[in-house]
Every structure is written in C-alpha cells, then in structure tokens.
Amino acid sequence: MGIAELLLIAVGLSMDAFAVSICRGLGMRRLNLRTAAVLALFLGGFQGLMPLAGWALGSQFMGVIAPVDHWVAFALLAFIGGKMLWEAFHEEEGCCDCEDTSHVDLREFLVLAVATSIDALAAGISFAALSVDIVPTVTLIGVITFCLSLAGVAVGHFFGARYEKPAGVVGGVVLILIGLKVLLEHLGVL
C-alpha cells in the first residue's frame, strides 16, 4: 500500500472526528485552544490507537467485532447528539453565564473518541491482512486526525459564536446523523 493510499485512508478515517470537532466548536462562546488541543489529542490518539489494536488482534476476532461496531458507534454518537439537543432546547433564553463547550470534559471526550474511532479498529484488522507497516500508518492517521480536529473546532467556533442555540441543535443533529450513517452503511442500506 502506497503513501497516497495511506493518506487517503487517514483522511477518510478522520472525517468523523473532524465533524465531531466542528460540533464541539459550535458551542464555544470563546475559542479555547486548551480545550481544542485536548479534544484533538483524544480524537487523534484514539484514531491512531484503534487501528493499532485492530492490527494486533488481526482477523481472528473479525467475526466478533464486525457485527456490533456499527451499533456501538451509533449508540454513543446518538447519546452525545441527544445530550447536545437537550441542552440546546432546555437552556434559558438570553442566559449569559450558561455553560458552554469551551471546558474540558474528559468523559465526553473519551466517549467521542471511542465512537469516532470504531471504524479505525476494523481498518486495523484489514491492515493486518494486507501486511501494512503499522507504525507509520497509525502515526499518519493520528497526526492527520489531530490536525483536522483542531481545525474543526476553529471552524465550528467561527459559526457557533454567531448562532449559539441553532449551532447546538445542528451539532446534536450532525452527531446523530453520523451515528445513523455508520449504522446504515454497516447494515447495507447505504
């Protein structure tokens, strides 16, 4: 597998993390680089570690992982998206001191990182079957995801600072739709 193919795989695998980062940035009243960096580290780290874990497990557990990965990703993303929708509709109007997403929430970051990297676990299993040099591959995936996640928070913040409530709604809907897309792709509907 060549560098161009690995680069395309890395960008493709990091798209869910990019979308999640945009959603997170949507709710920021002020761009918080510390929060953006921690989120990017979680997303990039898990996006790099999951294919490594998949590669280590190899194809021997493919029968166990493949049937449920889409359900797990859907449930986690739907939960986080639903939480964002709940907060958007139950927040007091005109409240200046309402909690925004510029704080570091390690539990939420962990859930988002796992949910967006489940497909990377399956990709890692295919890397084992293709005898891919795993260290540069997972490094590339992790670095690209980190960079796109940082950019995603900034893009989300740019739009979210202008439209706070609609941004929360859009962010929640996008996360739910990403989870639904993963589920429908694995069920063969899309």
Residues 166-186 pLDDT 10s: 766 776 787 788 778 878 887
List, for residues 46-99, the tens digit of each pLDDT value: 999 999 998 888 767 656 656 776 776 677 667 777 876 787 787 654 433 334
Measure the N-to-C terminal CA separation of the chain; round to a whole number of Å: 27
Task: State how far the Cα of 78 lies from the Cα of 106, in Å rounded to an integer.
Answer: 18
Number of domains composing the chain: 1
Mean pLDDT along residues 16-21: 85
pLDDT tier for residue 140 given thresholds of 50, 70 and 90: very high
**How many other C-beta atoms can be found within 10 angstroms of the C-beta atom of residue 74?**
22
Q: Which two tokens stand for residue 66?
A: 């493949």
Task: State how far the Cα of 143 lies from the Cα of 112, in Å rounded to an integer.
Answer: 17
Task: Report pTM.
Answer: 0.69
Residue 102 scores a pLDDT above 70: no
User: Exposed/middle/buried for 95, CB within 10 Å: 0-12, 13-18, 19+?
Assistant: exposed
Report how far Cα 68 is from the mean position of its chain's Cα atoms. 18
Element (H, E) at 63: helix 62-65
Residue 11 scores a pLDDT above 80: yes
**Whole domain around residue 31: which residue ranges?**
3-187
Among 140, 123, 110, CA closest to 46 = 110
